[in-house]
Chain A
Amino acid sequence: EAGVAQSPRYKIIEKRQSVAFWCNPISGHATLYWYQQILGQGPKLLIQFQNNGVVDDSQLPKDRFSAERLKGVDSTLKIQPAKLEDSAVYLCASSLEMNTEAFFGQGTRLTVV
């Protein structure tokens, strides 16, 4: 079974630029999560989708971050404009349904300079 795919693996951008990350969840998984993991900290949920609807985006900085999950499959997370403090690993995860095991991708490491 293929796992959660994320791209790119690494990205370096200058502050105030924009960036987008892509996630392809495990086939058939209805729930998709985006997490931000700052160095030395645990992952923090940014947004959770159930199919193509948003379940929780309470910690998403909506003035600069946006995410979509068209057709309830792939998802894109965008940052515009980026700030230095956005440097982190962005993790995508999916689960068959809510309250079932979440499987994580390898993440995208973003460095903002």
Chain B
Amino acid sequence: GAVVSQHPSWVICKSGTSVKIECRSLDFQATTMFWYRQFPKQSLMLMATSNEGSKATYEQGVEKDKFLINHASLTLSTLTVTSAHPEDSSFYICSARVRGSNQPQHFGDGTRLSIL
């Protein structure tokens, strides 16, 4: 149980294009989803917290107009990297959790984004 599917697993695109990444909880309803960015040999950096039906809460230093998050249902959240540039190249990972104290996060397998 508690499977999170993230798609696509990797994407290469030209500078200036927008890229959408989907995160789905397959067998549970996720009241909260998180989006992380991870650089090589570094920890997970939280970008934003997303609750179903409400606006995402972005961490300090993360541009909300650059990284658009939509959490339209209890099983789907999307991250759109708008007008992507080479410095946006990274490993993006989503996670989902159910309501309740101390619940663990269930992670997708990440999206490797390369901007040329």
Task: Indicate, yes or no, whether A interacts with B.
Answer: no
